[in-house]
């Protein structure tokens, strides 16, 4: 999910969800061209859309055997954290 529309910073939201036992993670911490291994690859200019996505993304747990009770638990924790 992208969190550029809420007032709570992504990292604070991630921390609040993890405190509730929800495996929320900001998987992407940098745009590809910002990694050291990519220094030699040519790129023209910063990609502001990609940088915005990296700064605001948060992955919520979703898995093939996730039942309704677990989905509701994640949803409730997310709503509570967003309202805090």
13, with CB counted inside 10 A (0-12, 13-18, 19+), is buried
- DSSP conformation class of 32: G
> Residue 25: how many CA atoms within 13 Å on its side-chain side?
6
> Looking at per-residue confidence, does 5 or 32 come out higher?
32
Look at residue 77 and tell me if it is in a domain.
Answer: yes
* Mean pLDDT in residue range 48-76: 89
Tokens of 83: 């309202």
Look at residue 70 and tell me if it is in a domain.
Answer: yes
Q: Tell me the pLDDT band of 24, cut-offs 50, 70 and 90.
A: very high
- Domain containing residue 48: 10-83
Look at residue 3 and tell me if it is in a domain.
Answer: no
CATH number for 67: 3.90.1150.10
- How many domains in the chain? 1
Query: Which residue matches tokens 């709570």?
Result: 8
Look at residue 42 and tell me if it is in a domain.
Answer: yes
């Amino acid at each position: 999910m992208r969190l550029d529309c809420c007032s709570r910073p992504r990292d604070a939201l991630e921390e609040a969800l993890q405190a509730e036992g929800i495996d929320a993670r900001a998987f992407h911490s940098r745009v590809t061209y910002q990694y050291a291994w990519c220094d030699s690859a040519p790129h023209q200019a910063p990609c502001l859309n990609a940088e915005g996505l990296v700064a605001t993304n948060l992955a919520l747990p979703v898995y093939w055997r996730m039942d309704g009770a677990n989905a509701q638990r994640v949803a409730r924790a997310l709503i509570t954290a967003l309202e805090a």
